Amino acid sequence: MDIEKIKEVKQRLSEAPKYDPDAAPVYDVLGIQKLLPHRPPFLMVDRITEVDSDSIVGIKTIGVNEYYFRGHFPTEPVVPGVLLVEAMAQVGGILVLRNVDEPEKYSTYFAKIDGFKFRRKVVPGDVVVFKLIITQPLEHSLVCMRGKAWVGNSVACEGDMVAQVIKNK
């Protein structure tokens, strides 16, 4: 990726997207389930609020009853960082699959996770806003994205991902 593209992506990810809970989502959970094979308890995104050709914004509201809080950690519940990465990947998967003919016939898989930084804890009651931008479009079944997750105006995590798009058997 060239220097200008890096600057553009960083600028587009510099501020938290504004989330309006009263606005109709682009995709609600039923629409998301038409694009992703994930199902509860491993569906990690509740709604998509914005999407265009190369970026997407998704929301996950963290409830106290999330299954992982029983063990992580019972007296001080914290969302595991790996699940934030998974949630971000699911949002990115929606962006990629919505532009594929017959998306229900494809799945996205991690090919690479790079440079992730975790900046703050995510706890019950938080609303996590994910924004991803495609940094290299789908080519030879691979697509590159950079993403950030915010709680309010604070960055929770950020990093780069490469996904592989594979036709289901």
Residue spans per domain, the chain:
3-167
pLDDT band at 1 (very low <50, low <70, confident <90, very high): confident
**Active site residue ranges:** 72
The tokens for 13 are 């990810």
Summarised one tens digit per residue, pLDDT across range 116-162 is 999 999 999 999 999 999 999 999 999 999 999 999 999 999 999 99
Determine the topology of domain 3-167 in CATH: Thiol Ester Dehydrase; Chain A (3.10.129)
pTM: 0.96
In DSSP notation, 13-50 reads: TSSPPP--TTSPPSB-HHHHHHH----TTS----EEEE
pLDDT at 30 > cutoff 90: yes
Summarised one tens digit per residue, pLDDT across range 67-101 is 999 999 999 999 999 999 999 999 999 999 998 99
